[in-house]
Chain A
Amino acid sequence: MNLRTSIRTILKAYVLPLAWIFAISIPIMGLVRSIFAGVFVFAGLLVFNIFIRRKARVQKSRSRLTYTGLSFAGRFAWVFALAAAIIAPLFLNGYSLDVFTSVLFYTMLALGLNLLVGDLGLLNLGYIAFYGIGAYTYAILSAKFGIGFWGSLMLGGIAASVFSLIIAVPTLRLKGDYLAIATLGFGEIVRIVLNNWDSLTNGPNGIMNIPRPSLPWIQLSTGIGFFYLVLCFIILQVYLLYRIKRSRFGRYAVAIRENERAAEMVGINTYKIKTLYFMLSAFFGGVAGVLFASKQMFVSPDSFTFIESVYVLAMVILGGMGNIAGVMAGAFTLVVLPELLREFVLYRMLIFSLLLITMMLFKPEGLLGKRT
């Protein structure tokens, strides 16, 4: 390559994009921040050209669906994580404990959503609605009918499943993108209804004085007790999810995700399986909602906005679609990281969105992703 062409290449690959981003940023960002934007893009392009251009797409040859049991290292990791989750709360202050409890809520949600996005490859952009339905089910049942936490727990999940059926039955026949949009619409409708049906939901003010759960011999109303309660639910959930994944249902799902026509050709009722998964996914969301309401002792529509759905989706994507441990790690990261970076609170969502975009560019299957 001679000098002229190399200069031209550098101009085209780096200088032009940098200058362009700088220029269009000025009206919105002002001069100083635009310089940062330009530099940022420059750095991004460097990384892009180093990693993406040269990346030969090496595929892992071995990928089995068959149950083989966990490796020793895998077992160790699980035991370690569990032990950490059990011991850590004993040393945390109230604030940190709240953060970690919220990790647990998001973990439940992300694992629930993963059933759709990761296992079936279906996008649900209104997932948080099921969380909301669960939460409000408990709030309303306890306020109007005096039904307690344990009674509401299942009902919250079931309510979410029933609502999911309303949206799933008609929309699951739609093409992927349309399904995403329809679920987005559904999520918004739920939120608007919660916001406006004053007689039932008390509108934007929400419902207060939701009771904490209680058990005769264990203290659950404290932060720590509650944390362990949710932890138990997660252990149960993870166990169920793994068993489903290793069962024929898990394979049906993989088949549908990989090739729907072929799945039908081997006799799988794809529509039925998708509906089942949709309901199960909503069920987990609903149960998580009941837990959430009882932790907050208060619910309002503000907790169930579209961006929350995107947040949960990002956890699924970040950790590796379809990979249970990865999704849990994703939830952990996306809850804890913003807490650590509190000085950057203004830039939080900006970083978050860049993360989404770059993930899709570099590693669409997630950081820990192996898709099966």
Chain B
Amino acid sequence: MRIFIQQIINGLTTGSVYALIALGYTMVYGIIELINFAHGEIYMIGAYGGLIVLTLIGTSHTSNIGIVFLAMGGGMLLSMAYGFTVEKFAYKPIRNSSRLSLLITALGASIFLQNFVMIGQGASDKNYISLNVLNATFTLYGIAITLNQILIFAVALVIMLSLDLFVNKTMTGWAMKATSQDPITAQLVGINVDTIVSLTFIIGSGLAGIAGVLVGFYYGIVNFSIGYLVGIKAFTAAVLGGIGDLRGAMVGGLLLGLLESLGAAYLSSDYKDAFAFIILIAILLIKPSGLFGKRQA
């Protein structure tokens, strides 16, 4: 039982990360029907953004929690900049080409960003500064939870709630929804679709960037190649929740985190990474519209 609960906690932690990244996939897919392969790399760049901020600050304030938020801000901004740029330079010029071309471009963008960072930052792992505050551990009935895990969960929760409010309660949010439902009509009623697409990329990328920094603190290391696997998993989460559906992506992320961590504990830790792929294929086959989707994809 203890192991079970411990796995639930771990699963929710990684699940929150998946959810944050999945939101970006889902938002972009909802609006331009593109599987943005480069999104995993945007997350990775966010992790580096946080690292860069931490390096600038130095090691003298390791007990100040404010540093965490500074790093998150840095990661978020860098990811936003890159997400915006990828859309403007790579996707926008061919938005009206065939889907095959778009997908291949996304693939190219993903490889490009990986190698761009590898050249700039080196191929080896880099370490995040270990912050004492984050390592504080609470133990209850033998179940351990670190402040870091609480932070991840809390940040993800706050972000998801704000995003939900933003999309459902603001004019801009409505414009985004309208564009994703019917871009042509949206244009007719005076919505600037280009702006909305850019905004979607910026928001989605910012969320991924924050996730990158959170994971950086959690695992302590970053590498130029971390985006690929996490990216696919987050995409799986998005599909699980029904691609295009924001709340679905959140639930899908948490669910995938749970499944993965329970699967690793009770089925096989060797095949941990395969679970996501199996779930991905299974859901595509059984219910491509996602667990909660009504629309046939």
User: Are A357 and B280 in touch, CB under 8 angstroms?
Assistant: no
A24 proximity list for chain B (CB < 8 A): 78, 81-82, 85
B136 at the interface (CB under 8 A from A): no
**Contact string, A224-242, partner B, CB cutoff 8 A, digits 1/0?**
0000000000000000000
Instruction: Return the chain A residue nearest B53 by Cβ.
Output: A27
Residue A78 at the chain B interface, CB threshold 8 Å: no
Closest to A346 in B: B119
Is B105's CB under 8 angstroms from A356's CB? yes
Q: Does B274 contact A354, Cβ atoms closer than 8 Å? A: no
- Residues of B close to A174: CB separation below 8 A: 284-285, 288
A21 touches B85 (CB 8 A): yes
A349 within 8 A of B: yes
Answer whether residue A47 sits at the interface, using C-beta atoms and an 8 A cutoff: no
Q: Which residue of B lies closest to A309 (CB)?
A: B107
A192 and B274 form a contact (CB under 8 A):
yes
CB–CB B274/A364 < 8 A:
no
Minimum C-beta distance from A350 to chain B (A):
4
Contacting B at CB under 8 A, from A161-186, are: 167, 170-171, 174-178, 180-182, 184-186
Residues of A within 8 A of B280 (CB): 181-182, 185
A82 within 8 A of B: no
**Hey, which chain A residues are within 8 Å of B105, CB to CB?**
356-357, 360-361
| Cα distance, A27 to B56, chains bound together (Å) | 11
Q: A350-B116, A356-B105, A357-B112 are in contact. Are A176 and B100 (CB under 8 A)?
A: yes
Q: A123-B100, A310-B107, A364-B101 are in contact. Are A350 and B284 (CB under 8 A)?
A: no
B82 pairs with A357, CB closer than 8 A: no
Q: Interface digits, A333-372 against B, CB 8 Å rule (1 contact, 0 not)? A: 0000000000000110110111111001100100000000
Q: Is the CB of B111 within 8 A of A356?
A: yes
Interface band, chain A: 35 or more
Number of interface residues of B (CB under 8 A): 52
Q: Which residues of A contact B98 (CB under 8 A)?
A: 121, 364
Residue of A nearest to B29 (CB): A177
Q: How far is the CA of A178 from the CA of B119 in the complex (A)?
A: 32
Which of the residues B48, B82, B90, B99 comes within 8 Å of A176, measured between beta carbons? B99
Complex interface bits, B146-186 against A, C-beta within 8 A gives 1, otherwise 0: 00000000000000000000000000000000000000000
- A residues contacting B by CB (< 8 A) are 17, 20-21, 24-25, 27-30, 33, 41, 48, 52, 117, 121, 123, 125, 167, 170-171, 174-178, 180-182, 184-186, 188-189, 192-193, 196, 306-307, 310, 313, 317, 346-347, 349-350, 352-357, 360-361, 364
Q: Can you identify 24 A-B contacts, CB atoms within 8 angstroms?
A: A24-B81, A27-B52, A27-B78, A29-B116, A175-B288, A176-B103, A181-B35, A181-B235, A182-B280, A185-B278, A186-B277, A186-B281, A188-B232, A189-B274, A189-B277, A189-B278, A192-B273, A310-B107, A350-B116, A353-B111, A356-B104, A357-B90, A360-B104, A364-B101
Interface residues of chain B, those whose CB is within 8 Å of chain A, are 33, 35, 45, 48-49, 52, 78, 81-82, 85, 89-90, 93-94, 97-105, 107-112, 114-117, 119-121, 228, 232, 235, 239, 270-271, 273-274, 277-278, 280-281, 284-285, 288, 297
Given contacts A33-B120, A347-B119, A360-B105, 6 further A-B contacts (CB under 8 A): A184-B232, A185-B277, A188-B232, A347-B115, A350-B112, A360-B97
Which 8 pairs show the lowest CB-CB distances between chains A and B? A356-B108, A353-B112, A353-B111, A29-B120, A185-B277, A357-B108, A28-B120, A196-B270
